[in-house]
Amino acid sequence: MPPNVQVSAQDRLQLSVDTSKPGPKIDRNIFGQFAEHLGYGVYEGIWVGPDSKIPNTRGIRNDVVAALKAIKVPNVRWPGGCFADEYHWRKGIGTRAVTLNPNWGGVIEPNTFGTHEFMDFIDQIGSEAYLSVNVGSGTPQEAAEWLEYLTAAQPTTLAKERATNGHPAPYKIPMLGIGNESWDCGGNMTPEYYLRQLTIYSRFVRNYNPAQQRNDQLQKIAVGPGGGEARWTEWTDTIMKAWQKRQWSWDMQGLSMHNYTVINWENKFASVGFGEKEYAQILKETLKMKDLVTTHSAIMDKYDPQKKISLVVDEWGSWYAPLPGSNPGFLVQQNSIRDAILAALNLNIFAHHADRVRGANIAQMVNVLQAMILTEKEKMVLTPTYHVFKMYLPFQDATYIPVTFNAGTYTNGDITLPRIDAIAAKDKSGKLWLELTNIDPNNAVEIEVSVAGLNANSATGETLTAPKVDSVNTFDAPNTVAPKPISVKVQNGKLTIKLDPKSVTVVSIM
């Protein structure tokens, strides 16, 4: 907003931050990513092969690596998704087997991007592995051998095979998903049937890495709910009840939850060329994440009042209709300022539940659904959602600080939503950070911020907005939606921050 634009009284809201009541750590793993063998998510998006003209390091494209490094991706979930329950790891080491990808377009799966390529990729971007093992069509033995292959330090036959394939040292595997959507594409199991699988996989799939025996132990994540209906509350209840009564021979450290922002699965919304009505409908829908997290956290609290088990929202984000002309099985969509706001709202929900939500993976990292990055041959563009993840870097592992505010309202037709949203946190150096989202696409808001326990002197930050509700970045116009510096007035210890319509803003307060 130009600095001279006047703001009316109704567009002025108060917000207070109380640094004397610090909350839990906002686990950096809520900023996790998801890379499935789906469409151009892995092949073309990450892997181009060592002989490609696209600049690459051992087959992995350098532009994508540099962009992901800059957002400090804490973990990458791989190889799926539905793909994981049909993935047989041996086909992706040594001599590769060419198979099919029946879930996603029925295309050829060359298996050229396998275990070693994935571990190389996460090493190049400075991230960590979150592997999903095959429960649907695999066996506990197959999964156990994959983990032995990856993590054994002693000279077992599998560890020696790993060394022959180029990696003598054991790999670190911090997170392990036991199946994926086992209630649906992962085998259509009942909660009781899945529970039997979980106890077996949990017992026999071991991490042998000597460096992960005391600290940094492997987190095993069970399949959890996929929505808020009775079927899903029963699922969470069954798993958590069994965990509370567990014997020594099995354990888990996390329960997964999947929730996409979709209004009609049969007739999905478009990711481009939409108006304010669809903007408001999607944001209303995405805010349901709050109820889901609250509902399932409450069930978990019943069996785990000490909050030992993390809720890991390992698939979330917008799911729109495939772009015209694209393979419908490839889930290609554009990414607009609406998605940036959607991302901020969800990240804030996770942060507000930081005592239980200690992991989340947006779907998906490159070229699929709500991606950070889109590529086309040698071209690459960063999406508005990418910029949100970059702006939120100070919140990784920061301490949650409570904020209170009157959110005001934004109305479109019969939809009324809270107009603003916010989180605050202190980073490790003690610096205070504030995030403010203005959902209202038409009106700026002026926020007067008071900070108890800090005599604020100055504040600086960045804001992300766009000309229209459906503004996107393209290969030809990559900076239509890009963060810009924001100036903040500080007087008598109070900050006055003007938020542009439809914007995400992050400031540090000193």
**Contact residues: ligand AHR, CB under 6 A:** 36, 80-82, 180-181, 185, 315, 363-364, 369
CB of residue 361 to ligand AHR, shortest distance in Å:
10
CB of residue 82 to ligand AHR, shortest distance in Å:
4
Hey, is 229 helix, strand or coil? coil
Among 315, 376, 446, 448, which one carries the catalytic annotation?
A: 315
> d(Cα 106, Cα 327) in Å, to the nearest integer?
11
CB of residue 81 to ligand AHR, shortest distance in Å:
3
Annotated active-site residue 181? The verdict is yes
Nearest to ligand AHR of 226, 483 (CB atom) = 226
Neighbours of 350 (CB within 10 A): 26
Asked if 497 contacts 507 with a C-beta cutoff of 8 angstroms, the reply is yes
Nearest to ligand AHR of 89, 400 (CB atom) = 89
Hey, is 401 helix, strand or coil? strand
Could you identify the residue written with the tokens 């699929």? Answer: 368
CA distances (Å), 427 to each of 246, 438, 456, in order? 37, 23, 16
> d(Cα 174, Cα 107) in Å, to the nearest integer?
31
> d(Cα 33, Cα 44) in Å, to the nearest integer?
17
Asked if 177 contacts 221 with a C-beta cutoff of 8 angstroms, the reply is yes
Annotated active-site residue 315? The verdict is yes
The secondary structure of residue 443, as a DSSP letter, is -
Q: Are strands 415-418 and 399-401 parallel, antiparallel or unpaired?
A: unpaired
Q: Which two tokens stand for residue 104?
A: 């996603």
> d(Cα 188, Cα 234) in Å, to the nearest integer?
15
Instruction: Return the CA Rg of the chain.
Output: 23
Nearest to ligand AHR of 45, 394 (CB atom) = 45
Nearest to ligand AHR of 333, 505 (CB atom) = 333
* Residue with the CB atom nearest ligand AHR in the bound state: 81
CB of residue 401 to ligand AHR, shortest distance in Å:
33
Among 36, 181, 278, 435, which one carries the catalytic annotation?
A: 181
CB of residue 210 to ligand AHR, shortest distance in Å:
33
CB of residue 343 to ligand AHR, shortest distance in Å:
16
Nearest to ligand AHR of 374, 486 (CB atom) = 374
Nearest to ligand AHR of 33, 505 (CB atom) = 33
**Is the N-terminal amide bond of 79 cis, ω within 30° of 0?**
yes
The secondary structure of residue 279, as a DSSP letter, is H
> d(Cα 357, Cα 254) in Å, to the nearest integer?
9
Q: Which residues participate in catalysis according to the annotation?
A: 181, 315
